[in-house]
A and B are shown apart, each in its own frame.
Chain A
Amino acid sequence: MIQVDHLSKYFGTIPAVQDISFRVEKGEIVGFLGPNAAGKTTTIRMLNGFFPPTSGSARIDGLDVFDRSLEIRRRLGYLPENIPLYKEMRTDAYLGFVADVKGVPRKELPKEVDRVTERCGLHEVRKQFVGKLSKGFQQRVGIAQAILNDPDILILDEPTIGLDPKQIIEIRELMKSFAGYKTVILSSHILPEVSMICQRVVIMNEGRIVAEDTPEGLAGKDSRKILLQVKGPRADVLARIEALPGIAGASVRDTSADHTFQYDLEMEPGRDVRDAIAESVVGGGWSLLEMKTIRPSLEDIFVRLVTEEE
């Protein structure tokens, strides 16, 4: 549905986005993750035709987003980062204006405005001025204008920034409800959010894509750490485990009571040596109290990916 090939954008000589390629399928929710100034907003602006790429191409439904801008914009709902709304208008008038400009058929216009008002929970504030609404409600008005005229594709730039936890949960629920029937691109620098909502994550740093996978896939690739708890003499256990093939490193974490110790093990990539560890512990005559694979959080992966190149 969305197809980006070798897209680059330079501001003067400063590269903002360099040679990125990705695909987004219909009905997918994809998260753009990256630190500030990673090129997320620039990519998004190129996708909605705000400015053209320096090189490369972006296509939506096979149409070039720049050459066929008007057609693309009909299929697209967009929420910019800092929710720029017309603050001097009342919520219902504002949504009516957007519906008008988006070309909602005249007869269906009041119905359509009612639909998004209901969907985003704006009923109680529909007669209030947008500028007087709380940040959470403004954000919802922002999402409401994006989903007006029922576009197939939603592009939301940092939709939960600056909200309180309760509002964040509400907005996330709203976005989750789009899964399956809308294609959503979501940018964020909040990692748990992305892992919760998105089916796929694209991690960007310094204008490049550094990783692209499902949240589970990203976490799975990295699960090379094992936590082990063994009752037995510390030095002997450590020596025996370290001698096993496939173990890259081992260290004692802390001492518990009764000669019980916790060990952090690191496996060599691509090898699963858990049964060998269990055998050798039991074979040594010690008790294996606990063994578990540590799944790194998205934070760990993100920090590793983003700092790796430096």
Chain B
Amino acid sequence: MRTFYAILRRELYVYFCSPIAYVVTTIFLVLSGYLFYSAFAYFSMISMQAMRMPGIDGINVTEMVLNPMFANMSVIMLLMMPLLTMRLFAEEKKAGTLELLLSYPVRETELLLGKFAACLVVFFVMLALTWLYPIFLWLFAKPDSGAIFSGYLGLFLMGAAFIALGLLVSSLTENQIVAAVISFGAILMFWLIGWSETFVGPSLGKVLSHLSLLDHFEGFARGVIDSRDVIYYIDFCILFLFMTMRSLESKKWRG
């Protein structure tokens, strides 16, 4: 447990003593802030018009601002998370520090979970800073606080899944750019895999839709916390962490 904390602290130190965490967080906030502003401004324009024209009904701040806000944030995460995860193992493999680290009495599980937790903390800080948006919303409107909570829960679970996948890819290469490109591609593939649902037939379509990172998020964005979706993201993390574990151990049996 102590090794886990030591590794977690060191990884956090690297994230916050180098520009990585600041740059990624800033860019994430700028982009999500801009998209939130656009959605909010558009919403206020529509509601102004609706006031002058009686008969238009069902204008809903949750559906028009919150829902797109979560969807937008998930897309920006898709672009940003590989940049946070790419260095986790690739950097250490390239510099040779992994060899030295593994010469200490460190278990692979502690190493892996330490790095996973550190990245999760950075991601959590990044996400926590976007709380400003719902607070702005509360100042001027009455959003559904349940939907806000479920949206954030969904984003957090999805981000954890991205990190688990990024860790695996980073453990497979010593080149950080290769790690970033492959994790981006893999996440995008898992994201879009549900699209083929409509033309591959009902049985396979259901499987593909269930695999999709995006399809499981839609419920959270609307304010529905479905245990199936929660379990999907947790399973996704466990599977990819397990595979990373195997990838780290593979040096023991690979020629």
Complex CA gap A71/B5 in Å reads 20
Out of B2, B97, B251, B254, which one reaches A84, CB within 8 Å? B97
Out of B18, B101, B102, which one reaches A88, CB within 8 Å? B18
Complex CA gap A80/B97 in Å reads 9
State whether A82 touches B96 (Cβ < 8 A): yes
Out of B9, B107, B251, which one reaches A70, CB within 8 Å? B107
Q: Which residues of A contact B49 (CB under 8 A)?
A: none
Q: Closest CB-CB distance, B243 to chain A, in whole Å?
A: 20
- Interface of chain B: mostly helix, strand, loop or mixed: helix
Out of A11, A66, A93, A102, which one reaches B104, CB within 8 Å? A102
State whether B255 touches A84 (Cβ < 8 A): no
Out of A51, A82, A93, which one reaches B251, CB within 8 Å? A51
State whether B99 touches A80 (Cβ < 8 A): yes
- Output the nearest chain A residue to B17 by Cβ-Cβ distance: A88
Q: Closest CB-CB distance, A95 to chain B, in whole Å?
A: 12
Of B17, B95, B100, chain A has the most CB atoms within 10 Å of the CB of B100
Interface residues contributed by chain B, number (CB under 8 Å) = 28
Complex CA gap A37/B9 in Å reads 38
Q: Closest CB-CB distance, A46 to chain B, in whole Å?
A: 12
A52 at the interface (CB under 8 A from B): yes
Complex CA gap A54/B253 in Å reads 9
B228 at the interface (CB under 8 A from A): no
Q: Which residues of A contact B202 (CB under 8 A)?
A: none
State whether A85 touches B6 (Cβ < 8 A): no
State whether A84 touches B95 (Cβ < 8 A): yes
Q: Which residues of B contact A74 (CB under 8 A)?
A: 105
State whether A88 touches B14 (Cβ < 8 A): yes
B252 at the interface (CB under 8 A from A): yes
State whether B100 touches A11 (Cβ < 8 A): no
- Output the nearest chain B residue to A77 by Cβ-Cβ distance: B103
Q: A70-B105, A73-B103, A100-B6 are in contact. Are A89 and B13 (CB under 8 A)?
A: yes
Out of B3, B105, B253, which one reaches A52, CB within 8 Å? B253
Q: Which residues of A contact B2 (CB under 8 A)?
A: 100, 103
State whether B97 touches A85 (Cβ < 8 A): yes
Complex CA gap A268/B83 in Å reads 70
State whether B101 touches A101 (Cβ < 8 A): yes
Q: Which residues of B contact A80 (CB under 8 A)?
A: 96, 99-100, 103
- Output the nearest chain B residue to A70 by Cβ-Cβ distance: B105
Complex CA gap A11/B254 in Å reads 9
Q: Closest CB-CB distance, B13 to chain A, in whole Å?
A: 7
Q: Which residues of B contact A103 (CB under 8 A)?
A: 2-3, 105
B206 at the interface (CB under 8 A from A): no
Q: Which residues of B contact A102 (CB under 8 A)?
A: 104-105
Q: Which residues of A contact B5 (CB under 8 A)?
A: 100
Q: Which residues of A contact B99 (CB under 8 A)?
A: 45, 50, 80, 84
State whether A50 touches B17 (Cβ < 8 A): no
B106 at the interface (CB under 8 A from A): yes
B142 at the interface (CB under 8 A from A): no
Q: Closest CB-CB distance, B164 to chain A, in whole Å?
A: 23
A137 at the interface (CB under 8 A from B): no
State whether B96 touches A50 (Cβ < 8 A): no
Instruction: Name B80-96 residues within 8 Å CB distance of A.
Output: 95-96
Q: Which residues of A contact B253 (CB under 8 A)?
A: 52
B148 at the interface (CB under 8 A from A): no
- Output the nearest chain A residue to B94 by Cβ-Cβ distance: A84
B7 at the interface (CB under 8 A from A): yes
A210 at the interface (CB under 8 A from B): no
B10 at the interface (CB under 8 A from A): yes
Q: A50-B251, A102-B104 are in contact. Are A86 and B10 (CB under 8 A)?
A: yes
Question: Which 8 pairs between the two chains have the least Cβ-Cβ distance?
Answer: A84-B96, A100-B6, A78-B103, A84-B97, A73-B105, A74-B105, A101-B104, A48-B103
A interface, CB within 8 angstroms of B: 10-12, 45, 48-52, 54, 66, 70-71, 73-74, 76, 78, 80, 82, 84-89, 93, 97-98, 100-103, 145
In the complex, 28 of the A-B residue pairs with CB atoms within 8 angstroms, ordered by the A residue number, are: A10-B255, A11-B255, A45-B99, A50-B99, A50-B102, A51-B252, A52-B252, A54-B255, A70-B105, A73-B103, A78-B100, A78-B103, A80-B99, A82-B96, A84-B95, A84-B96, A84-B97, A85-B97, A85-B100, A86-B10, A88-B14, A89-B13, A98-B104, A100-B6, A101-B3, A101-B6, A101-B101, A101-B104
